[in-house]
Amino acid sequence: MTEISDPSNQQVSEAIAWLVRFESGELSADERRDFERWYAQSPQNALAWQRLGRASQLFQADSSLNSKLALQSLQVADKQMQNRRRALKSLMSVAGVGAGLWLTRDYTGAGKAGRYLYGEVVADITTAIGEQKTLQLPDGTELLLNTQTAVDIDFMAKPELVLHYGELAFSSSSTAQLRTGPYLFSPQLDSEFTLYQENDVCRLYVINGGVMCDYAGRSFTVVGGQGLLMHKGEVNRTTMDMDLLSWRGGVLTANRMRLGNFVRQLERYRPGYLGCADEIAHLTLSGGFPITDTDNILSDICRILPVRQQRLSRYWVRLLPA
Amino acid sequence: MKSNLLEDLYSGHHGWLRSWLQKRLQCSETAADLAQDTFVRILLKEQPPEVEQPRAYLSTIARGLMMNHWRRQALENAYLELLAAQPEPVSPSAEDRELVVETLLQLSTVLDELSYRDRQIFLLARLDGLKYREIADQIQVSINVVQKAMTRAMLRCYQVLYDRDK
């Protein structure tokens, strides 16, 4: 058997483009024929394709590891390794010869990745998945943190509070300022509001009083009963969805909520993967569910709606039509 | 030829390498393991090395192994801590733990140069088995962003696994 030479960069790129198209699930019959032609065109194409298949299998769903856990583990470990590297670097200036080669290869790559993560793992106060925390700050502010939240608190700084990610409820007899991403929030005295921030989305609901939001040179004043939704630099006023406030009482409420949306909410309180088949996402449900026991909520849903759980482990649950 | 060279390296510098490692690791058992691994690495090389400064050469390899050792340890600690912080703490068997740490180690190599967003997308697709559409909805990006992230991540996977020189 003759050995096939390695695929060229071009061929690998083509193979990846095909894989991504397959996984996007948007392949027509014509495209499929194009793929078959491409695959048969050269043994290197076929080899690149097979290697990608093997590479994909390497990281396939594993019940003890989900994306959240993996991402967090990598972040925390990266941070630790940065310190190690710093320590090792000072050793290396003594060690001298031979160190340079390795240093350039390993140090730059991981160091770069580490920078993206800074701030995400060093917040003052964080909550784990499913955890809620109440904090009484020295100025009388009461802070309630929802699941998966990271906050910095520093009364020597301005703004005094920074929400890195997650959700918090704020009620204050002071006027402590709060920042999340590019948005700065200044509450009036005795205001009560909630703030949610995840990826590009930021949502403010003012329950009592008033909050001023400053962003890119513009100011928005939001009063009790109103909301503000910020998405990729666009700021829009919204009404409040009461179902998105009930977490403050430790309850997830649904008022004719679509199952798909409910599952997305519930997922925040539960480690691992939780999903819902497309066919049942439109079903609606109403009720109040204590969020301390998400397994219980899932059983409840299966009683109320014609759905069942597909359970590979505690960390992998998908709702399917019954 | 090859075995002679290795023998010379071993007899001349094994003791030195071991104490060099021990100074940095503060653990004689790990130092002995990594010293051994260093020579195994050299043994497995196709080309016998031309070594003018054997100790510099040995310490370069040993340093790489030491970083791997630390990375593995950091990943294992992080994983176990996060696991314990879950609302329903679980303690996986030693065997499962080993497998997860191995996966994490591979992931950390593959994801090393990717941005946070790319890492997240790749993990959602592979570990959680989500479809591109589901990922796009979940993290509020366009499907195009997901496709590009997967393209970058798969290229990285390929390079790490198959382009040994890169």
Per-residue pLDDT reduced to its tens digit, B13-23: 899 999 888 88
Which of A26, A69, A295, A298 is best to mutate for the B interface (most B CBs within 10 A)?
Answer: A69
Which of B41, B52, B55, B157 is best to mutate for the A interface (most A CBs within 10 A)?
Answer: B157
**A236 three-state secondary structure:** strand
Q: Is residue A96's pLDDT more than 50?
A: no
- Per cent of chain B over pLDDT 90 is 19
Q: Read off the tokens for A85.
A: 């590297």
Q: Read off the tokens for B146.
A: 């997901």
Please report the pLDDT score of residue A106 as a whole number: 27
Per-residue pLDDT averaged across A291-300, rounded? 91
Q: Is residue A110's pLDDT more than 50?
A: no
pLDDT band at A261 (very low <50, low <70, confident <90, very high): very high
Nearest to B82 among A72, A109, A120 (CB): A72
Nearest to A80 among B74, B92, B100 (CB): B74
Q: Is B135 exposed, middle or buried (0-12, 13-18, 19+ CB in 10 A)?
A: buried
pLDDT band at A247 (very low <50, low <70, confident <90, very high): very high
CA of A114 vs chain B CAs: smallest distance (Å): 9
Distant-in-sequence, close-in-space partners of B138: CB < 8 Å, separation ≥ 6? A264, B124, B130
Residue A215: phi and psi, rounded to 5, are -150, 125
Q: Give chain A positions within 8 Å (CB) of B99.
A: 62, 64
pLDDT band at A61 (very low <50, low <70, confident <90, very high): low
**Buried-state track A214-245, b at ≥16 Cβ within 10 A, e below 16:** ebeeeebebeeebbbebeeeebeeeebeebbe
Q: Is residue A1's pLDDT more than 80?
A: no
Per-residue pLDDT averaged across A245-252, rounded? 90
Which chain A residue's Cα is nearest to B135?
A24
Q: Is residue A175's pLDDT more than 50?
A: yes
- Which residues 137-166 on chain B approach chain A with CB closer than 8 angstroms? 138-141, 143, 147, 150-151, 154-155, 157-158, 161-162
Q: Chains A, B: CB contacts under 8 A, how many?
A: 189
Which of B38, B96, B104, B154 is best to mutate for the A interface (most A CBs within 10 A)?
Answer: B154
CB contact under 8 A, A20 and B63: no
Please report the pLDDT score of residue B38 as a whole number: 87
CA of B13 vs chain A CAs: smallest distance (Å): 16
Distant-in-sequence, close-in-space partners of B52: CB < 8 Å, separation ≥ 6? none
Of residues A52 and A97, more confidently modeled: A52
Per-residue pLDDT averaged across B102-127, rounded? 87
CA of A248 vs chain B CAs: smallest distance (Å): 18
**DSSP of A285-311:** EEEEEETT-HHHHHHHHHHHSSEEEEE
Q: Is residue A272's pLDDT more than 90?
A: no
Please report the pLDDT score of residue B120 as a whole number: 92
Q: A233 and chain B: CB distance < 8 Å anywhere?
A: no
If one counts every other C-beta atom within 10 angstroms of the C-beta of residue A135, the result is 13
Per-residue pLDDT averaged across A132-157, rounded? 79
Q: A111 and chain B: CB distance < 8 Å anywhere?
A: no
Please report the pLDDT score of residue B113 as a whole number: 79
Q: Are B61 and B38 a contacting pair, CB within 8 Å?
A: yes
Per-residue pLDDT reduced to its tens digit, B41-96: 877 766 666 667 788 888 888 888 888 888 888 888 888 888 887 777 677 788 88
Cα–Cα distance measured from residue A160 to residue A253, given in angstroms and rounded to the nearest whole number: 32
Of A143-147, A261-265, A276-280, B57-61, the poorest mean pLDDT is in B57-61
CA of B9 vs chain A CAs: smallest distance (Å): 16
ipTM of the modeled complex: 0.80
Of residues A46 and B112, more confidently modeled: A46
Please report the pLDDT score of residue B77 as a whole number: 87
Please report the pLDDT score of residue B49 as a whole number: 63
